[in-house]
Amino acid sequence: MSVAILHHGEYVIASIQSDLSDREVMALRDDLANRVGERRARGLIVDVAALDVIDSFVARALRTIAETTQMRGAETVIVGIQPDVAIAMVQFRLNLEPLRAALDLDEGIQILDRLLHRGSPDAR
Amino acid sequence: MRDEVRVTIGADEDLVSARAEARALADHLGFSRTDATLIATAISEIARNIVVHVGTGEIVLRAIEDERRRGLAVIAHDAGPGIRDVQAALRDGYAGDSGLGLGLPGARRLMDEFEIVSEPGCGTTVTMTKWHMLDELEMLRERRRRG
């Protein structure tokens, strides 16, 4: 599958490398739910910059990923939504609740850091 | 590049090629990147409907034009059981909590023109068009080119 999965401290980073078929999207969803548990990850970042279409199916899968990982004790941030993809999603009126999104990987990591280590100065 | 592309829809992976073909033709016709994305997203939804509800079908992408503008028409046809209530299918959330049922109304919002013809037993044809307005300079050039 064309998704690179990296581990960065207590975070799992899934970086999608190319357009995915529906079946690959479902496989990714299942894989990430497992992986978050196996690695005892506290945060998950899904980088969708390589996706040039996010339709209702992909949006639903991303939402499911976020909800599932939350039940497994981790927070999810989606990063890298392309500007034209964002326009299409808004015009389509895709509901992404309760997804958290950030511009890029750096910002995604900052959001997770803030969420998970709120108030502890020597966090990480 | 040809001005008409046919994509056979029969499996999940065909959505990937339908999206890629749509984007390539839209680029070729001078659509912006954003418009190409809107078109590819609408096609993805329509193609998925075919795969999920019928199994097989065909999508034709065609370059069209009138005096003022160029456009991309998408004609998606299947020979499935048809949609019993087209108006209902075009309402948001028709399929209930499954999360399905966003496809048709969403695709309609992404395109300029959208039409469904469906009769029980005779399959379904979705025709949708995106127009690309020519700006004044392009129109002058076009006129000169045609003499």
Please enumerate in sequence order all residues whose Cβ is within 8 A of that of B94, keeping only pairs 6 or more positions apart, or say none.
B88, B101, B104, B105
pTM: 0.89
**Fold of domain B4-146:** Heat Shock Protein 90 (3.30.565)
Residue A93 has its nearest CB partner, among B16, B20, B109, at: B109
How many CB atoms sit inside 10 A of residue A47's CB?
Answer: 22
Q: CA A24 to CA B56: how far, in whole Å?
A: 20
What pLDDT digit, counting tens, does each position of B43-68 carry? 999 999 999 989 999 999 999 998 88
* Token duo for residue B106: 């969403």
How far apart are alpha carbons B138 and A66 in whole angstroms? 46
Read off the CATH number of the domain in which A30 is found: 3.30.750.24
Are the Cβ atoms of A53 and B19 closer than 8 angstroms? yes
For residues A81 and B121, the model is more confident at A81
Q: What is the pLDDT of residues A2-59, one digit of tens each?
A: 899 999 999 999 999 999 999 999 999 999 999 999 999 999 999 999 999 999 999 9
Does residue A67 sit at the B interface (CB-CB below 8 Å)? Answer: no
**Between chains, do B37 and A21 touch, taking CB under 8 Å as contact?**
no
Q: Residue B111 in contact with residue B42, Cβ under 8 Å?
A: yes
The ipTM assigned to this model is 0.89
Contacts of B70 (CB under 8 A, 6+ apart): B29, B30, B63, B64, B131, B132, B134
Q: How confident is the model at residue A1 (pLDDT cuts 50, 70, 90)?
A: low
Count of the separate structural domains present in chain A: 1
B29 DSSP β-pair partners: none
Question: What angle do the packed helices B33-49 and B103-110 form, to 10 degrees?
Answer: 150
* Structural domain includes residue A124: no
Binned at pLDDT 50, 70 and 90, residue B81 comes out as: confident
Contact flag A84-B45 (C-beta cutoff 8 Å)? no
Query: Looking at the domain assignment, is residue A82 inside a domain?
Result: yes
* pLDDT (0 to 100) of residue A12: 97
Residue A121 lies in a domain: no
Residue with tokens 């695709």, as numbered in its chain: B107
Q: Do B45 and A19 touch (CB under 8 A)?
A: no
